[in-house]
């Protein structure tokens, strides 16, 4: 089984226990963007947010 990439929403800076998992970075970023839009009402995923997300990606 391939490792999963994981982002904990809290580490991105939100007060949230959400965890996003995916098998590729592309998929992960898409899921984080969707989560941020639907749960945190973030209308724009800026380069800064993407950079922050990439900096907290873990593999499990």
Cβ closer to Zn ion: 2 or 46?
46
Give the integer Cα–Cα distance in Å for 28 and 44.
Answer: 17
Size of the site for Zn ion (CB under 5 A): 5
Our finding on whether 9 is near Zn ion (CB under 5 A) is: yes
Our finding on whether 57 is near Zn ion (CB under 5 A) is: no
The residue within the footprint of Zn ion, chosen from 16, 22, 45, 56 (CB under 5 A), is: 16
Our finding on whether 6 is near Zn ion (CB under 5 A) is: no
CA distances, 19 to each of 12, 28, 29, 41 (Å): 11, 11, 12, 17
Residues 6+ apart with CB under 8 A from 4: 21, 22, 23, 59, 60
Residue numbers at the binding site for Zn ion (CB under 5 A): 9, 14, 16, 18, 39
């Amino acid at each position: 089984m391939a490792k999963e990439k994981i982002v904990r929403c809290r580490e991105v800076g939100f007060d949230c226990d959400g965890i996003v998992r995916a098998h590729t970075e592309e998929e992960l970023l898409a899921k984080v963007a969707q989560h941020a839009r639907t749960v945190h009402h973030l209308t724009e995923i800026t380069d800064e947010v993407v950079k922050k997300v990439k900096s907290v990606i873990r593999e499990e």
